[in-house]
């Protein structure tokens, strides 16, 4: 595996992601921010943050597979959520858990969560981008 995930001593041990990823692969994979579109471009889960998070992660998984990668190869995730407030965290985690169950993986790469004013269209509540490294 090209990615080793680490929670170093001296930093908090976070359940849903690791603080550091160490990449040893030779090929970088950059996945554009994925929104809650299905394969036909229709928005999934309009108004439902958990459903949209789930679809975003599934879309990231699809994009990774097209590049010969999986979530095990992800070095970094960036998650952008419209009108983010901390009380939305359980819903965000529910969406990640649902995606994990569908994909059969638990995404644990270092992640940055950013609150944003808006995304590409008003229906989209979340966007997830990934950087992976493969051998």
- Name 99's Cβ contacts closer than 8 Å, sequence gap at least 6: 53, 54, 55, 56, 57, 58, 61, 107
Structure confidence at residue 76 (pLDDT):
97
Residue ranges, the chain, pLDDT below 70: none
What distance in Å separates the CA atoms of residue 135 and residue 115, rounded to the nearest whole number? 33
- What digits encode the pLDDT tens for the residues 47-65? 999 999 999 999 999 999 9
């Amino acid at each position: 595996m090209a990615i080793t995930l680490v929670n170093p001593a001296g930093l908090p041990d976070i359940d849903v992601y690791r603080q550091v990823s160490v990449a040893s692969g030779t090929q970088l994979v950059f996945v554009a921010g994925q929104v809650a579109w299905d394969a036909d471009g229709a928005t999934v889960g309009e108004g439902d943050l958990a459903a949209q998070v789930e679809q975003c992660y599934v879309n990231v998984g699809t994009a990774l597979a097209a590049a010969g990668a999986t979530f095990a190869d992800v070095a970094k995730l960036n998650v952008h959520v419209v009108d983010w407030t901390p009380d939305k965290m359980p819903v965000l985690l529910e969406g990640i858990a649902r995606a994990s169950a569908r994909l059969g993986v638990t995404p644990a790469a270092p992640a940055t969560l950013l609150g944003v004013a808006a995304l590409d269209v008003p229906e989209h509540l979340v966007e997830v981008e990934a950087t992976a490294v493969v051998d």
